[in-house]
Structure 1
Amino acid sequence: MLRPVVSPITPRRQHADACPGVLQVHAAADGGLARVRIPGGWLTGAQLAAVASAGNGLEITSRGNLQVRGLAPGAETAFAAVLSEAGLLPSTTHERVRNIVASPLTGRDGHGVLDARPLVAELDRALCADPVLADLPGRFLFALDDGRGDVAGLGADVAIHGTAVLLAGRDSGLRVQPADAVPVLLAAAHAFLAERGDEWRLSELDSGPGRVARRLGGSIGAPVSVSGRPPIGVIDQVDGRVAIGAAVPLGRLTPEQISVLSGQSWVCVTPWRGVVLADLPDADLVESLVAAGFAVEPGSPWAGVTACAGRPGCARSLADVRADALAFHSGRPAPSLPVHWAGCERACGRPTGAHELKLATEDGYESR
């Protein structure tokens, strides 16, 4: 069994981490912005409704988390109480570091080489129980890919891809069985903190991921190339039930969409800014999803088009990029490459991998 050894460390305090959470709210142009970590993306419909009840807008992020917009000043305490009651705030000290993505259909559709669902729960519990790991940056990302190659390509700092351990998207040479996966992921997070100066991500380390790999007893290898696609459409489960994957245009949920989702037993918010509804007896829900504005056809452009907040939500933005993206892509076929619309050079939320950037300028949009 692999038993990584990590040197004891004393975490170094860095300049303030401004990554929003539940208790640390970002002051956006349209009100307070809170981010709720949803490990693995799975929550009940009732829990999603509880999150949505707090603000004036609900978004799915590129890490399969939920983002609430329009919070009133000082609303954090009441919001935290709502989430705690709903079972979505197990730790106030670790709430911003519970960044865990997982294969949305793992254990349900028969693909992959393992069921990552119990690993998500185990990793979340162990992460929250480790006081040192509360010092991880809010941008540090764990990924549990069951071997199908979907979330392994999302730029996680530390990932399990089947049995392989990836560090910043590169093969560490380490191989683990499911029983050892969580200890290795936590050991890698400790190793990052030991190597960290002012860096937020493992890929930003001056030493690269190589020194972290060596602390774990591995050696860094080549980048791992995977190209997972968002689950869209009706998907057969191995137990005879079905799941339905749907794209959410630009990741922003409307009140009508929230109403449909709130009545479901299980909802997965995915890193592709969509949803998966699982354990359904049949596909009858498709009609209601389409009527609410979800896209359930694999050829829909909304499976590959994203946008930052834009105006009026972001004071930095030079344009209402969401309105412009909706006007441009509605009725068109899916783009050959993912397209991200951004209101400024920061290009918040842009996808990993090859994509086209539509960047707002003073004179219109520039394609990159």
Structure 2
Amino acid sequence: MLAAMPPAPSPASRDEPVIRDGGDACPGALRLHAADDGYLARVRLPAGLLTARQAALLGEAAERFGDGNLDVTSRGNVQLRGLADACGAELAALLDGAGLLPAPGHERVRNIVATPMSGLDGPPERDVLPWVREFDRRLCADARVTALSGRFLFAFDDGRGDVAALDPDVTVLAVGGSAGAGVGALVRLGAGADAVEVGAGDAPRAALLAAHAFLDAVQVAGTKAWRVGELPAEHALCAREFVGRLSRDGIGARYRADVVWPYAAPVRPRGVGAGPRSHLCVLPPLGRFSAGQWRELVRVAGLSRGPLRITPWRGVVLADVPVDGAALLERAGLVVAGDSVWESVTACTGRPGCAKSLADVRADAPLAVGATGGAGVLPVHFAGCERRCGHPRGTDWVDLVAAPDGYRLTAPGRPARTGLAPTDLAAALAEARTTPHPSSQTAVKK
């Protein structure tokens, strides 16, 4: 159920620290963001986990208070759009009743991604979801971490390297568990090869202490850094020093230098197998479920075993689904088969939701991509302005940016094309996406 493995991404480098003059305006479920199509709420879901009941209530919220659509994000969260400006209290009450606001003061810092297939395939003893649940409990009970930015990211990876590749601020990677070896965890602060090894039982607490180490560094440096990689070089977090911090807190830890970090491609949509039940990966085109599609997803989720798992690649994993579940979802316009054109096409919000956008990119994308999807093509991102919100990481992708005179298309190894009308895009994109490139898929950046 995994695509081919891309090369490991290069750690981000920065010559100077990022200087932020304003506060963190990242939206949440309680702090709504004003957009051109109404208010936006972002509901954070640690590890992307939703029960069928919670999913049904989210769909109800989208239809009662917003435009009915539900967007899944590159951090495995869900966004509601088109919300009325007076719905905040009712929305919060609904989410609280659904168990989606266990700690209202912490809801914006619950940015926790995890390997979507953890516990469903691979070594069962490396299932990181119990770690996530314990970590989230500790996070929500810790008053200090409310100072974290809404962009600070924790990742719990079961060893395959899929979410470790998403540029987390704190990475917890499961190791061991084969040939009788006990399971442990490597904890990484930001990018780089160095890490700290701890026992499996200490992994959640070590991740929380890593957040404390970051907040200490921010305070000492007098900076407004939101991410580990934004700290000034003289205040960068050090794995060796982190070992000492853990030891003082009663956690046995050892320093690990030059760790070879695994990197795997994300889970991609695949149909169920020949058996009566199987795991199912569901992809909504451009990461957006209509109200009807979400209802159908919830219906099939009720036939599955276990929670829905929203992935950081804007899809949903349903575990142990009856074989006819795939057909139900396909009839709703959702992708469950492999090599779909929508596997590698992304877009920003565009018009009418974003005031900065110069085009309705979500309307133009289906007309432009045609049948140029599947294996062996470059990813493509449609952006309504130069900010390119949600664009893929790396360099091997086709960039379509709306400009006042039409779209500008740039692709690896090809000259840029400008002034493209929406009717010109299909032919231009079909040619650009067949450019040979070293990686088959890149991870999506927030």
Which among 362, 365, 369 is matched to residue 325 of structure 1? Answer: 365
Which among 342, 359, 363 is matched to residue 401 of structure 2? Answer: 359
Q: Deviations over 1:123-162 (max 9, x none)?
A: 1101000000011100001011101111111111111122
Distance across 1 between alignment mates of 2:267 and 2:408: 27
Q: In the alignment, does 2:112 pair up with 1:100? A: yes
Shift of 1:171: 2.7
Query: Normalized against structure 1, the TM-score is what?
Result: 0.89
Q: In the alignment, does 2:349 pair up with 1:309? A: yes
Distance across 1 between alignment mates of 2:118 and 2:25: 32
Which structure 2 residues correspond to residues 142-221 of structure 1 after superposition, within 5 A?
A: 142-162=154-174, 163-196=185-218, 197-207=223-233, 210-217=236-243, 218=255, 221=258
Which of the two has greater helix per residue?
2
Distance across 1 between alignment mates of 2:363 and 2:205: 45
Cross-structure match for 2:136: 124
Distance across 1 between alignment mates of 2:333 and 2:235: 42
Which structure 2 residues correspond to residues 107-118 of structure 1 after superposition, within 5 A?
A: 107-111=119-123, 114-118=126-130
Cross-structure match for 1:299: 339
Q: In the alignment, does 2:56 pair up with 1:49? A: yes
Deviates more, 1:28-37 or 1:156-165: 156-165
Q: Deviations over 1:65-122 (max 9, x none)?
A: 0000011012111101000101111011000000111111111123576001111111
Q: In the alignment, does 2:86 pair up with 1:79? A: no
Distance across 2 between alignment mates of 1:120 and 1:318: 40
Q: In the alignment, does 2:315 pair up with 1:274? A: yes
Shift of 1:210: 4.3
Shift of 1:222: 7.3
Cross-structure match for 2:425: none
Whether the aligned pair in 2 keeps the contact of 1:195 and 1:212 (CA below 8 Å) is no
Query: Normalized against structure 2, the TM-score is what?
Result: 0.74
Whether the aligned pair in 2 keeps the contact of 1:230 and 1:303 (CA below 8 Å) is no
Distance across 2 between alignment mates of 1:339 and 1:107: 32
Whether the aligned pair in 2 keeps the contact of 1:20 and 1:35 (CA below 8 Å) is yes
Which among 259, 270, 287 is matched to residue 233 of structure 1? Answer: 270
Q: Deviations over 1:322-350 (max 9, x none)?
A: 11112112432236333221111222122
Distance across 2 between alignment mates of 1:59 and 1:268: 14
Larger radius of gyration, structure 1 or 2?
Answer: 2
TM-align CA RMSD = 2.3
Q: Which runs of 5+ in 2 are unaligned?
A: 1-19, 175-184, 244-254, 411-446
Shift of 1:224: 4.0
Shift of 1:208: 8.0
Deviates more, 1:222-231 or 1:25-34: 222-231
Cross-structure match for 1:62: 74
Q: Which runs of 5+ in 1 are unaligned?
A: 1-12
Cross-structure match for 2:40: 33
Deviates more, 1:28-37 or 1:225-234: 225-234
Amino acid at match of 1:187: L
Distance across 2 between alignment mates of 1:39 and 1:345: 31
Query: How many residues were matched structurally?
Result: 353
Whether the aligned pair in 1 keeps the contact of 2:159 and 2:262 (CA below 8 Å) is no
Distance across 2 between alignment mates of 1:101 and 1:327: 32
Whether the aligned pair in 2 keeps the contact of 1:203 and 1:209 (CA below 8 Å) is no
CA spacing shift, 1:22–1:220, aligned 2, 3 Å: farther
CA spacing shift, 1:171–1:358, aligned 2, 3 Å: same
Amino acid at match of 1:245: C
Whether the aligned pair in 2 keeps the contact of 1:338 and 1:354 (CA below 8 Å) is no
